[in-house]
Amino acid sequence: MLICKVVKPLVSTNRIADFQHKHLQVVLDGSTQKVAVDAVGAIPGDWVICVGSSAAREAAGSKSYPSDLTIVGIIDHWDPDAAKEMAAGKPANPGAPSGSGGAK
């Protein structure tokens, strides 16, 4: 699943009927903006877990819902800077509360 940041709701009046009235959110995946179906009620600024592939359909409510990216959870605490440092090879500090790792 991807770790994305919610940017804003997306309005698309002319869309296929299968999309029903579910909310669509613009989310930021790294530096790319994508559209996700919101299954948890996220708000702009939230860090969220987005599921893709065929699992996105069931996560959106039914096997036949045409989503390939669905917001399935809001992350309690996420520090993108600590995440970047970790990705750059600095020692992880899994025992510390998330959000403070690497920031002093």
Which residues of this chain interact with a second copy, rule CB under 8 A? 1-3, 7-16, 18-19, 24, 26, 28, 30-36, 39-41, 44-45, 49, 51-59, 63-70, 72-77, 83, 86-88, 92, 94, 98, 101
Q: What region does 84 belong to: left with phi over 0, alpha with psi -120 to 50, or beta?
A: alpha
Min CB(53)–a second copy separation in Å? 4
For a second copy, give the closer residue by CB, 17 or 104: 17
Min CB(103)–a second copy separation in Å? 14
Min CB(77)–a second copy separation in Å? 7
Query: Quick check: 59 and 39 in contact, CB under 8 A?
Result: yes
For a second copy, give the closer residue by CB, 82 or 104: 82
- What span, in angstroms and rounded, lies between the C-alpha atoms of 3 and 33? 12
Min CB(29)–a second copy separation in Å? 9
List the structure tokens of 39. Answer: 């299954």
For residues 6-24, one letter each, b for 16 or more C-beta atoms within 10 angstroms of the residue's C-beta and e for the rest, the string is beeeeeeeeeeeeeeeeeb
For a second copy, give the closer residue by CB, 45 or 104: 45
Residue 82: in which H helix or E strand, if any?
helix 80-87
